[in-house]
Structure 1
Amino acid sequence: MQETIDTLLTGVARKDAAAFRALYDQAAPKLLGVALRILKRRESAEDVVQDVFVKLWNGQASFDPALGSGFAFLATITRNRALDILRRRSEQSAGDETDMDAVMDLMPSPEAVAADRSDLRALLACMDGLADGPRRAILSAYVDGAQGSEIAAALAVPIGTVKSWIHRGLASLRECLGR
C-alpha cells in the first residue's frame, strides 16, 4: 500500500530513512515539474528538488497538517526556492549596479506573505470541498502540468469527464473563494 505524503512527512521528521525514500519516490517527479515550470532549466530544477529534500531531512522545514496537505507544503517550498534562484539570476545579470533597495523590492512584504498564506489556506479549504475526481483532475492539471489525456488515463475516465470535472471544479472554487 502506498503511504500518503502527509504520513511520509511525519516519518521523515522522525528521521525514518524508508519514509524519506518513499516520499522522494512519490513527490520528487512532481516537484521537479513545479521547479521546471519556473526555472526552465532542468539542472537548476533538479538542484531545487534536492535542496527541498535536504531541508526536510535536516529538519529545516516542518510540516503542519493543520495548514494544508503535504503535497501543497512541498510544492510551496519548491516554488519559493525556485523563485529565490530566479531572483538571484536577475540580480547577477544586473551586475554590480544593483543596490540594496532594488533587491528589497524583489522581496515580498510581511503583509504579502501573510496574505499569500491566508489565500492558500482558503484555497485548500475549498479544494477539500470538491469531490475526489474533480480535485485530482485539477491538481493534476495545475500542479503537475498534466494534459487532459494524461489525466484521463491516470484516473481511468473519458477525457470529456476530465474536462467537465475541471470546468465545474474551477467554477466551484471561484464560488467558494468569492471570486
Structure 2
Amino acid sequence: MTVTSSTEEKLVEALQNQQSADFSRLYTAYAPALYGVLLRLIKDPARAEDLLQDAFIKIWLNRQHYDPAQGRLFTWLLTITRNVALDELRSRKVHSKAGAYQSDRSEPTVLPDLIEGPLKGSLTSSLKPDYRAVIQLMYYKGLTSQEAAAILKLPVGTVKTRVRAALKQLKAQFCQDIQHYQVGTTLTC
C-alpha cells in the first residue's frame, strides 16, 4: 500500500480514533518498511518479525502520544521501531557479556580440604577430646548429629551441645588470633 499525504491523514485519524480495525490498515501500510529497518539492524528475519509485533504493540499502547504537529506519522513509527531494535541489540550485548562472565566462573571452585591439610591438627588440637571427636565426625567427615550420636553412643542432644560449645571455643580462639594481627582495630566477637 502506497502512503500518500491524504492516506496518512486518514491513518492518523484512525490511530487517534483507537479503532482496532483502522489499526490494521496502519499495520498494512507501514509494516513492510518497518520490517526492512528491523531486518537491517537485527539481521535475523525471525527475530525482526517478533520485534515488528513488539513495535506495533508499543505504537498501539502509545497512540495518544502522537502529535501530527510534531512530525509525520512514519517518522514517529520509525522512531518507536528503531528504539525497539536498539533495545534488542543492547539486550544481546548484555547477555553476551553475562554469558562470558558466567562461563569464566563456571569452572568448579577448588576449596581447600581441611581434612588433609596441615591445619587439621592445629584447628582442633586445643579442644577437649569430647569436643574434638564430635567436630571431626560432623565437620571433617560430614556426618549428621544423629549419625555422630550413633557412633559415639551418646544422645543427640549431648552431641549438639558439644558441637555448640566447641564452635564457641573455636570462635573465641579465632577472635584472639584476629585481634593479635589487627592492631588498632576493635573487633567484637
TM-score, reference length from structure 1: 0.49
**Structure with more relative contact order (C-alpha pairs < 8 Å, separation 6 or more):** 1
Compare the two structures and name the one with the higher helix fraction: 1
TM-score, reference length from structure 2: 0.46
Q: Which protein shows a greater Rg?
A: 2
